[in-house]
Amino acid sequence: MEQELRTIDLPARVGVAATERNRVLRNTYWLLALSMVPTVLGAWIGVSSGLLQAMGPGLGLVVFLVGAFGLMFAVEKYKNSAAGVPILLGFTFFMGLMLSRLLAVVLSKGNGASLVMLAFGGTAAVFFAMASASTLVKRDLSGLAKFMLIGVVLLVVAAIANVFVQSGALLVTVSVLAIGIFSFFILYDLKRVQDGEETNYISATLGVYLSLFNVFQSLLALLGIFGGDD
């Protein structure tokens, strides 16, 4: 009798689980869209004020590392409280501010505005492609994710080194690899939500946002190098 009750109750449990997964995914998409607002605001303030240019590359790197990792830690710490969303939006504002140095360089070119829009369109295309793929891919990606995480660490080391080396070839290499690696992480993070492995939409948004930010930044750097009209 108990076994029969469990069998009868199984569809209801599956339905509740599916509903919860859809809720987390929906909230992730909404919060991701909302996070673009403070990002754009931060970028606009940074470009208008020239704050990052005034700092210099060395100080700018220190501010970025301390601010980004500090805010990411705060997001994860308060992700289950009412403070989670405001802290996440504060983080996206900060990231927009940090992006302003690259934006200012690209916008100084004759076709700078077009390059920014092209990078935005390319990033949107990557996102929609990975979001669609996340509903189709059935295999477990956790093993590949561990391998890709090593690639992220190497990319970070190379990017930090290039702040001081200023090598165009290294910048191109890092940017191309970053687009590939972070596109995979968009797929991976969205699939984790759809599989019920990630149940907090703030954490999910943070992961996808970081990947989108890096894809956009890398596309913008490549377009600035190869597509700019001086």
What is the tens place of the pLDDT at every residue in 176-192?
999 999 999 999 999 99
pLDDT given at position 14: 47
Mean pLDDT of 96-110: 91
Question: For tokens 């240019």, what's the residue?
Answer: 53
* pLDDT tens figures, 159-179: 888 878 888 888 899 999 999
pTM of the model: 0.89
Contact 74, 191 (CB under 8 A): no
Three-state secondary structure call for residue 79? coil
Amino acid at 139: R
Structure tokens, 132: 């669609």
Distance CA 178, CA 1 (A): 56
What's the whole-number mean pLDDT along residues 112-132?
94
Tell me, what's the pLDDT at 88?
97
Take residue 136 and report the two structure tokens written for it.
């189709």
Domain assignments of the chain as residue spans, ordered by start: 2-226
Q: What is the per-residue pLDDT across 195-215, written as a single tens digit (0 to 9) for each?
A: 888 899 999 999 999 999 999
Q: Determine the average pLDDT of the residues in 92-103.
A: 94
